[in-house]
A and B are shown apart, each in its own frame.
Chain A
Amino acid sequence: MNGQAAMKKHGSTLTNIAGIVRRELSGYFGSPVAYVFLVIFLLMAGFLTFTIGRFFERAEASLVSFFTWHPWMYLFLVPAVGMRLWSEERRLGTLELLLTLPVTLPQVIIGKFLASWIFLAIALALTCPVWITVNVLGSPDNGAILTAYLGSLLLAGSFLAITSMTSAMTRNQAVSFILSVMICLLLVIAGYSPVTDLLTRWTSPGVVSAVASFSVMTHFDALQRGVIDLRDVGFFLSVIGFALFGNAVIVRGLRAG
C-alpha cells in the first residue's frame, strides 16, 4: 500500500456524518415499520384536523386546527421514531464497533439525530395536501403557515433530541420510549393553558410565566402566529443542543466504568 492510501483511513467530519445519516435512513426505509409510521402519522394528522379540530366547520382559511395537535401527536410519534437510536446499538453490541471506528462521538450523535429528523421532516412534508386544500378553499396567510411548519419541525427536533438522549440510557427500547414521553409531556403541559390557568390560582403570575417559558407550547404557539422570533427558535435549538450534549455525556459515561 502506498503512503497516500495509508493516509486516507478516516473521512472528514461531513463524510462521516453523511455515512451515518445514510445508514440510519436506509434502516428506516428498509423496514415496513417506516411506512406504517408514515401512514399512522398522516391518518392521525387528518383525523385530528378534520374531525376533532373541525377544520371545515371553522370555515376559515387557516391551518390552526392542523398545527394545534402537533405537540400531542409528536408526544408519542417522535419517541417511537427515536427510541431505538442508541438502545439498539447497546443491545446488539454494535456500539463497540461504532465507537472504535475513526469517527468522533459528536459526529455519531449528530448523524443519528439528523437522520431521524430528516425522516420526521419527510412525514411532515407529506401533509402538504392540507396546505394545498386551504389555498384552494380560501386565501390563508401563507407566511404564517410557513412559520408554523418551521415551528413544527423544531418541535419535532426537540422531542427527538430528548428521545435520543433517553435511548442512550437503556438497552430497552420500551423504557426509552416511556422516559422520553414523560420528559416531553412535562415540556408540553408546563405551558398548556388548562394547566397554567390552574397554576395561577396557587402561585403568582410571575412564577407561572417563568414555568411556561420552559414549555414548548409557549414557543410553538408564538411561531404559529407567523412571527419568527429568534427567542422562540433559539429556545428549540437550545433544547436540541442541551439534550444532545446530555446524550454525549451518557454515552461517555457508559464506557468510563
Chain B
Amino acid sequence: MIRVENLVKQFGAKRAVNGVSFSVERGEVLGLLGPNGAGKSTTMRIITGFYPATSGRVTVGGHDVATDPIRVKALIGYLPESAPSYADMTVQGFLSFIADLRGFSGSAKKAAVHGAVETCLLEGVLHQPIDTLSKGYRHRTCLAQAILHDPDVLILDEPTDGLDPNQKHAARELIRRMGKTKAIVFSTHILEEVEAACTRAVIIDRGSVVANGTPAELKARSATAGCVRVTLGGAAADAAVAQFGQLPGALRAELLPGTDMAPDGRVTVRVYPTRDDSGAIGAAGAALTVAVAQAAQSAGWQVQALSTEEGRLEDVFRSITLPDAVAK
C-alpha cells in the first residue's frame, strides 16, 4: 500500500530525512520510532503530501504523491503531530466540514460523521466549541477526522499523545483492530505501544532507518535477550554469581542491582548466554535455563523464580540510537 523509496528532505543546510525506505502492506501496522528530531514527522508529512520531497519517491496505493496528490490524499487519513483543528468550530461542525471535503453528502455524510464520533467517544461534546475542549478531547476530535472516511491508509503522528491511560489503551486497540484491514503507520515514543499494536517497527535516527523488524526480532537484539534470570533463597550472592558464571554456555553472571539488600535474604541473578560473532545464541546457551536450575539444586539453593528474558525494546532503542552512552 505504502512504498517509501530513498526519501530525502533538505531544510536549508539541515537534512531532516536522509534516504529513508520502507513499505507497508494492507494488514500491517508499522511503528515509527526514533529520538526527537529524528525525522519521523517530516517523513509522514512527505507521505501525506504536505511537504514535497527533495528527492526519492512515495507511492500510496500505486499513486505517486508527487504527481497524483489528490488520489493519494483521498486514500489517506492523517493525524498531524499537533492534532490541529479549527478552534472556533464545534466538534460536529468541524467533522461535517471534513466530510464535505472528503466528498460525502446527505445520509452518507451523516453516517460517516456518526461513525467517527462513536469510535472516538465524542457524543458528549458534539456541540461544544473545540477551543473549550480539554487537550485529550481535542486530540480525539482530530483522530475522528482522520478515520471519518474509513481510509485504506492511516498515518498517525503520535496518536496517543495527551490521552489518559484508558484512552491510550482504547486508541491502541483501535489501531490494532483497524490494522487488520488497513495499512497503518504511526509514530510514538511509548515503546510498550509498539509491542501492543505493531506488526513491525522501524527505528529512525538522524534521518536514516537504523532498524526495521518485528517487535520480537528487535527485542532479540537486546543485550539481555536470552538471559536467564533466577531468584534464589538461602544463597550467598557472591557464591551464586561465581557458580553460574562458570556454567557451560554462560558468558557471565551478575547480581541484579538492588536485590542483594532484600530483607528476606533472596538474591536475583542474571546469567548471560554465550553468543557467536553474529550475536546468535548457541546450543549451550539455549540450554542455559536447565543448567542454572540444576546447578542451584546441587548447591542446595532454593529456586523461587526462574525465567528466560525476551529482551527489552527500550534497551535496543538506546543501544541503537545512543551507542556511545550505552558502551560506557
Contact = CB atoms under 8 A, between A and B. Distances in A.
Given A10-B102, A97-B85, A102 B74 contact: yes
A101 interface: yes
Nearest to A111: B101
Contact of A30 (B80, B88, B101): B88
A52 interface: no
A18 B150 CA distance: 23
B101 A9 contact: no
A138 interface: no
Given A9-B75, A94-B86, A100-B78, A15 B50 contact: no
B50 A255 contact: yes
Interface residues of A, number: 33
A257 B11 contact: yes
B88 A102 contact: no
B301 interface: no
Contacts of A1: 150
B105 interface: yes
A11 B70 CA distance: 10
Interface stretch (B92-100, B212-220, B249-257): B92-100
Interface in A75-118: 92-94, 96-97, 99-104
B276 to A, nearest CB: 45
A100 B76 contact: yes
A255 B84 CA distance: 17
B49 interface: yes
B51 A255 contact: yes
Contacts of A12: 103
A92 B103 contact: no
A102 B69 CA distance: 8
A11 to B, nearest CB: 4
B102 to A, nearest CB: 6
Given A1-B150, A255-B51, A101 B101 contact: yes
Nearest to B100: A19
Contact of B93 (A26, A97, A103): A26
A27 B120 CA distance: 25
B45 interface: yes
A171 interface: no
Contacts of B82: 93, 96
A96 B149 contact: no
Contacts of B76: 100
B52 interface: yes
B145 interface: yes
Contact of B86 (A92, A99, A104, A257): A92
B84 A96 contact: yes
B222 interface: no
A94 B86 CA distance: 7
A31 interface: yes
Contact of B100 (A6, A22, A27): A22
B128 interface: no
Q: Which of A93, A100, A257 has the most CB of B within 10 A?
A: A100
A257 B9 contact: yes
A257 B70 CA distance: 21
A238 to B, nearest CB: 28
B73 A101 contact: yes
A148 B12 CA distance: 49
Contact of A100 (B49, B85, B89, B108): B49
Interface in B128-144: 142
Interface string A2-14: 0001101111100
Interface of A: 1, 5-6, 8-12, 15-16, 18-20, 22-23, 26-27, 30-31, 92-94, 96-97, 99-104, 255-257
The 5 closest A-B pairs by CB, nearest first: A19-B100, A93-B84, A11-B103, A9-B74, A102-B74
